[in-house]
Amino acid sequence: MKILLVTQWFDPEPTFKGLLFAQELKRNGHEVEVLTGFPNYPGGRIYDGYKISLYIKEEIDGITIHRVPLYPSHDSSAMKRIANYASFCFSALLGGLMKTRHIDVIYSYHPPLTTSLASVILGKLKRVPVVVDIQDLWPDTLSATGMINNEKVLSVVGKVCSLVYKMASRVIVLSPGFKSRLEERGVPAHKVQVIYNWCNEPALNNFEECAEKLPENGNINLLFAGNLGFAQGLPTITEACKLLQSRNVPVNVVLLGDGVAKQAAIEESEKAGLNNIHILPRVPMAQVGSLLSKADMLLVHLNDSELFRITIPSRTQANLAMGKPVIMGVKGDAADLVMKAGAGIVCEPGNSEELANAIQQMVSMSASERAEMGENARAFYYEELSLKHGVQRFIEVFEEVK
């Protein structure tokens, strides 16, 4: 098959289903082209080595990449963000019509919704089936994050989503909860399929050594790696650290990354005189595996919300793949994966005492008990969630709709 991947974000931008996805499809014998924009995410500025033009064509590992213009922005301004999304929608539709030929199937990465809108219109004009991959449930996410609060605008977004689902040949979702939600909104059950996300296996398994180090004070290291934003519930984690320190639990809670809630966590830790919480700066993805591999156990935590209960944080897959026991402070589908795998302990999100108890319970286990959980985690990832497994599922869907 000849597969066209339509995505607003693609390498060298930090993206999920980018070059790695395209390479694996090609490795399976398929011809792959990519329709994307000029790299500017997440800073909103065009990357060095690129400049906005009407069109450029690149080739990486035999994969043709069509880059079309967009308005570069990724700040808090709703109008600028809309301009960013809308400009790529228009350019992708025009560029797809003019620059792509003999496509068998179109794959569309969502968000943003505008990318999928351009894809389904392009599919109709070219008479090609479209598979839409939903990674963010709009308009739910827009409302939950506060990006858009206007009910009329959210209603319009919802109607456009319904149109996209109707025009798409298949809709792929990342969790059973997403599937149930779409079915509640009238999307036929046979049209929606769950394909779990994978992680960046090459980066995690062939990592570079990191200059940043985990504490070496004889305590067990619990690592929380990734975005340190409001959704991650850092106040719950710092409150849990207070309880653990008062109980003299020999654990270091290490936060690795950056985000809007990081500074407040630093200030609260210093104010409380905590010596069991350590905050490291963000490191390149190529080095994250170095720290994950050296941790004794890993943490996933989000604030409790209806939306988060049906999503699976991306760090879940990475943590399982590293073969480490996981403390999962998220309700719903993510917790179900950890329980099914026998890979860790699940606790109530947003509850500092439950989190502290879960950490203390895992610290009190023997090294062999934690190692068994880690082995379960890695085995489950490669049997159920791996890149190879996920891409094979996508290929089956592509062949069904072709």
Per-residue CA distances from 94 to 34, 39, 61, 157, 327 (Å): 14, 19, 25, 22, 47
Q: Tens of pLDDT along 111-138?
A: 999 999 999 999 999 999 999 999 988 8
User: What integer is the mean pLDDT of 306-316?
Assistant: 88
User: What integer is the mean pLDDT of 291-310?
Assistant: 92
What is the Cα–Cα distance from 106 to 123, expressed in whole angstroms? 7
Does the pLDDT of residue 25 top 90, yes or no?
yes
More confident residue, 254 or 79: 254
Does the pLDDT of residue 145 top 70, yes or no?
no
Domain boundaries, the chain: 2-198+386-401, 202-385
Does the pLDDT of residue 307 top 90, yes or no?
no
Does the pLDDT of residue 225 top 80, yes or no?
yes
What is residue 155's predicted lDDT score, i.e. its pLDDT? 85
Residue bearing tokens 């858009």: 148
What is the Cα–Cα distance from 279 to 81, expressed in whole angstroms? 31
More confident residue, 75 or 383: 383
Does the pLDDT of residue 32 top 90, yes or no?
yes
What is residue 74's predicted lDDT score, i.e. its pLDDT? 78
* Torsion sign over Cα 9, 11, 17, 22: positive
CATH architecture of 202-385: 3-Layer(aba) Sandwich (3.40)
Does the pLDDT of residue 22 top 70, yes or no?
yes
Could you please state the CATH topology (level 3) that the domain comprising 2-198+386-401 is classified under: Rossmann fold (3.40.50)
What is residue 139's predicted lDDT score, i.e. its pLDDT? 83
Does the pLDDT of residue 75 top 80, yes or no?
no
What is residue 402's predicted lDDT score, i.e. its pLDDT? 87
Q: What is the pTM of this model?
A: 0.88
Q: Worst-scoring range by mean pLDDT, 252-266, 302-316, 348-362? A: 302-316
Angle, in degrees to the nearest 10, between helices 314-321 and 333-341: 10
Asked whether the beta carbons of 113 and 102 are under 8 A apart, the reply is no
What is the Cα–Cα distance from 180 to 192, expressed in whole angstroms? 9
What is the Cα–Cα distance from 289 to 297, expressed in whole angstroms? 13
User: What integer is the mean pLDDT of 394-400?
Assistant: 97
What is residue 144's predicted lDDT score, i.e. its pLDDT? 67
Does the pLDDT of residue 194 top 80, yes or no?
yes
Single out the residue of 125, 84, 86, 129 nearest to residue 105, CA to CA.
129
What is residue 154's predicted lDDT score, i.e. its pLDDT? 82
What is residue 325's predicted lDDT score, i.e. its pLDDT? 97
Q: Do domains 2-198+386-401 and 202-385 have the same CATH topology?
A: yes
> What average pLDDT does the structure give for the chain?
93
Does the pLDDT of residue 146 top 70, yes or no?
no
- Rg over alpha carbons for the chain, rounded to the nearest Å, is 22
What is residue 150's predicted lDDT score, i.e. its pLDDT? 73
Percent pLDDT > 70 in the chain is 99
- How many other C-beta atoms are found inside a 10 Å radius of the C-beta of residue 246? 9
Q: Tens of pLDDT along 320-347?
A: 999 999 999 999 999 999 999 999 999 9
User: What integer is the mean pLDDT of 151-177?
Assistant: 92
Does the pLDDT of residue 276 top 70, yes or no?
yes
User: What integer is the mean pLDDT of 2-29?
Assistant: 94
User: What integer is the mean pLDDT of 159-184?
Assistant: 95
